[in-house]
Structure 1
């Protein structure tokens, strides 16, 4: 007789399960809200920094290679935030593109004053990052994802 009573779900068990589900929903909603706020802050900061850099170029009356490459970095960061908004996925390739652009900018600006070893290390890092992008692209082509984005 006692075995039968224990096998039936009690009102208390279903209430606890409902409460647990509601708490999880609230937790997920709070995490999503925090994530959206963070993305807005990052996106706004990227736009603000890009506008600031562009206004400096206008003020100087010229656009140097370092400033143009920095604008490309801001563009890539903005695109990455936009893609994350639309798909909820962070594309690793964009991070690699940003790293490649940042290292290229470093070489373009400081190559004259860098020791040869630093130039070789940075160039090797760029080649390694390009190989990583190529590998990711090949893998995505050969093994496409099943789930739609």
Structure 2
């Protein structure tokens, strides 16, 4: 009788510890996401204020704002779904490489190998994005199958 009571108490203790541990992980998770989001917003605000202060906005600056926007959306999706949207990371990389190409062209008027390499990398990232998108539609996860009706 006493042994079953001890086992029952042990199970309750482990259950409470799991619950507390999950709560602490969730709290840290949300605090970290808020910190990341605040950092992105502050960084975007500073970049925007620098653009206003210099009284001219280049294509590079606009692409930088798009990068910030994509990062904010990515964090928002992560808040809602608890999944890291890999495609948004690919979009950020493509936008960053496009920004680099624009800057390279503005500095050097003649084409060089850096532009070709960056263009090839953008192509690889776009192909990767297509493959990920195709695979996620063709082979959805069990969670997506129940959450999103496909027709």
- Alignment TM class, shorter chain as reference: 0.7 to 0.9
1:9 deviation in Å? Answer: 6.1
Match of 1:143 in 2: 139
Aligned pairs, number = 143
Does 2:129 match 1:124?
no
Query: In structure 2, what is the Cα distance between the partners aligned to 1:110 and 1:18?
Result: 63
Query: In structure 2, what is the Cα distance between the partners aligned to 1:135 and 1:24?
Result: 38
1:138 deviation in Å? Answer: 1.6
- 101 and 12 in structure 1: CA distance in 2 versus 1, 3 angstrom threshold: same
Alignment of 1:90-105 (within 5 A): 90-105=84-99
Bigger radius of gyration among the two: 1
Match of 2:69 in 1: 75
Match of 2:55 in 1: 61
1:108 to 76, 85, 102: 102
Does 2:31 match 1:32?
no
The TM-score normalised by the length of structure 1 is 0.87
Structure 2 segments unaligned to the other structure (5+ residues): none
